[in-house]
Amino acid sequence: MTKLLESPKDLFARLSKSVIDQDTALEQICVSLYKHLNHIRVGNILLIGNSGTGKTTIMRNIEKMFADDERLSRFTNTIRLNANVVADDQTAKLESSIIINRLHQNATRIMGSDPSPERFKELMENGVVFLDEVDKIRAVVGDRPNARGIQAQEALLTLIEGELLELSLTQRSDDGELSTHKITVDTSRILFICGGAFEGLYDAVYRRVSSGEHRDKLIQEYVVSDGQENVEEKEYFSLNQYVRYEDMFEYGMTPQFLGRFDEIIVLNDLSVHALMRIFIEPKESVFRESQVYFQTLGIDLQITKEAVQLLAERAHENHRIGARALRSVFKRIMRGIEFDPAGSYLVRDDSGSKRLMVTSELVSRFA
């Protein structure tokens, strides 16, 4: 069998350009993706990460990677949807369920004017479903069963476990006649990449780990501070190290549903340093986007390293929204300047070209 891509590392090299500081998670994801691309059996992917840590960014970039590489064209049938939509789906038959419908429509769109049964089958069976906010379909909320959540998990499970579905494909012949074929599609290979913030999970797992018999299992870290003689002993806790399937059951994901995931992948909360990189590095970063805006006005936008640091620190104060805070902090700084870029921050160099420098002074004034 010819390999589609050299290795999981190749996938990692591509994705890590746009997904910053989630290397451990990304490595796990790339192994799963590599298996999927090479038709090796693989469980689905469950991503846990606080808001603004990169879940949607990961999904989008996987989608983009498939779309940008000819060799991956049969994997381009990707859809993104919210788990709530599945919970609201009243369709009884899997053939006409929202997920199958969306994959069907998408496959039809990809094939364009030249659909064929083989291509349709291939696109459907290699589909990727990005399901966001799966934590919203809990089977229990508080102590009570949540009927919507249970139903949604059950509906997903049937699809995930793989069914043979008879789907219709309409083709138009050369003389314009429409004909409809029934095509059997095996859904077992469709890859589900699910994401959720799972709010409260961190505390629940910490409570479990730090109490009772498990207590001694917490990793001890020895911290030696500058100029101090004492060595401090600190407990180190990360969700990634300690989260177990039991915690997820407890949270309200049913064992059957979870059983279809090989592992639970936890995204890091982002450090100031990570935020600095996210602000600048990715092609679609907030800063690069702004540079494009100022270019249209004939202005070269620049920023000092100190300014990036300060801006990232300000964004970091806003834990709850992760990297999303970068955009709002930067917006606050640039609001007036975007409208009227004249002023002391705008300099003209010898050749007469205009440059706008974002300094730490400017950041501290507005952010």
Using CB under 6 A as the binding rule, whether residue 196 contacts ligand ADP is answered as no
Among candidate residues 48, 43, 112, the one with its CA nearest the CA of residue 76: 112
Could you list the beta-strand ranges (E) of 3-89.
44-48, 78-82
Using CB under 6 A as the binding rule, whether residue 55 contacts ligand ADP is answered as yes
Q: Of 100 and 197, which CB lies nearer to ligand ADP in the complex structure?
A: 197
Q: Of 56 and 73, which CB lies nearer to Mg ion in the complex structure?
A: 56
Using CB under 6 A as the binding rule, whether residue 324 contacts ligand ADP is answered as yes
- From the list ligand ADP, Mg ion, none, which binds 323 (C-beta under 5 to 8 Å, kind-based)? ligand ADP
Contact predicate 275/323, CB 8 Å = yes
**44 half-sphere exposure, CB direction, 13 A CA radius:** 29
Using CB under 6 A as the binding rule, whether residue 149 contacts ligand ADP is answered as no
Q: Of 19 and 243, which CB lies nearer to ligand ADP in the complex structure?
A: 19
Single-letter amino acid code for the residue at 260: R
Number of residues that bind ligand ADP (CB under 6 A): 17
Q: Of 81 and 157, which CB lies nearer to ligand ADP in the complex structure?
A: 81
Encode 170-191: b = buried (16+ Cβ within 10 Å), e = exposed. eeeeeeeeeeeeeeebebeebb
Question: Two tokens at 366?
Answer: 């507005």
Q: Which stretch binds ligand ADP (CB under 6 A): 19-27, 31-39, 77-85, 94-102?
A: 19-27
Cα–Cα dist 122/108, whole Å: 12
Using CB under 6 A as the binding rule, whether residue 14 contacts ligand ADP is answered as no
Residue whose tokens read 């059983």:
259
Using CB under 6 A as the binding rule, whether residue 52 contacts ligand ADP is answered as yes
Q: How far is the CB of 133 from Mg ion (least distance, A)?
A: 8
Q: Of 53 and 126, which CB lies nearer to ligand ADP in the complex structure?
A: 53
Using CB under 6 A as the binding rule, whether residue 57 contacts ligand ADP is answered as yes
Sole binder of ligand ADP in the list 282, 312, 314, 363 (CB under 6 A) = 282
Q: Which stretch binds ligand ADP (CB under 6 A): 14-22, 93-101, 143-151, 289-297?
A: 14-22
> Rounded to 5, what percent of the chain is helix, strand, coil?
50, 20, 30
Give residues in contact with Mg ion (CB under 5 A): 55-56
Encode 215-253: b = buried (16+ Cβ within 10 Å), e = exposed. eeebeeeeeeeeeeeeeeeeeeeebeebbeeebbeebbb
